[in-house]
Amino acid sequence: MTAVRPHVGVLALQGDFREHIAVLTSLGADAVAVRRPEELARVDGLVIPGGESSVMDKLSRTFGLAEPLKDAIAGGLPVYGTCAGLIMLADTVLDGIRGQQSLGGLDVAVRRNAFGSQLDSFETDLDIPALGDEPVHAVFIRAPIVESVGEKATALASVADGRVVAVEQGNLLGTSFHPEITGELRFHEYFLSKVRAAA
C-alpha cells in the first residue's frame, strides 16, 4: 500500500459501487470491492455508495462488517459516503425504519428521502469553495438531507433553500448527491487527498 497509488475500497453490499470503483480507478487509485472484514482491513480508505441505507445496514451486520466498519471509522480510516452512504455515516438518522442503525462518525442528523421519491429527483449547481470556484453539478436521487450539523462537523455545501447537502469531519466526507454518475471528479479527488494524507 502506497500513498502514490492508494488502495481504496468501495463497500459492495448493495448500491452503485461499480460506478465509484470506475471513478476511483480513473483517478489512479487501486479500487476494490469490499464485502468482508478481511478486505476492509487491507484498504487505505473506503467509499460507501448510494443505494438503500436500511438494506445496507442489515447486510453489513449479516456479513459481520458493521463492527469492523465502526472500528475503522473510529480509528481514523478516511471514508466518503454518498447518499445512502451519508446516512450510514451520520450519528443520527431521524426517520430510519424500525431497528435501523448507522455506523456513525459524522456529527450530523440526517433525514432519509428528504427530497421525495425517485420521481422527485433533480439536478442543480452548487457552490463549494473547498473544491474551487467552478460550481459542482449535483444529481439528487431519493436523496437525504442534513437536518443539523453538530460542532465537530463542517457544512461544505447547501442547496438554494439553505439545506445542507455536503459535510466533512476530519477524515470523513459525506454528500447527499451522486458525483459518481455525473462525471464530476472533484469530490473523489478531494477524498483521495484525505486518503493519501492519512496513509
Helix/strand/coil for 152: coil
Q: Which of 156, 165, 192 is nearest to 79 (CA)?
A: 192
Q: Which of 46, 44, 48, 47 is nearest to 6 (CA)?
A: 44
Catalytic residue among 20, 168, 180, 184: 180
The answer to whether residue 180 is catalytic is yes
Catalytic residue among 20, 168, 178, 184: 178
Read off the DSSP letter of residue 131: G
Q: Which of 45, 116, 124, 49 is nearest to 87 (CA)?
A: 49
The answer to whether residue 83 is catalytic is yes
The answer to whether residue 19 is catalytic is no
Catalytic residue among 83, 168, 184, 188: 83
Return the active site residues: 83, 178, 180
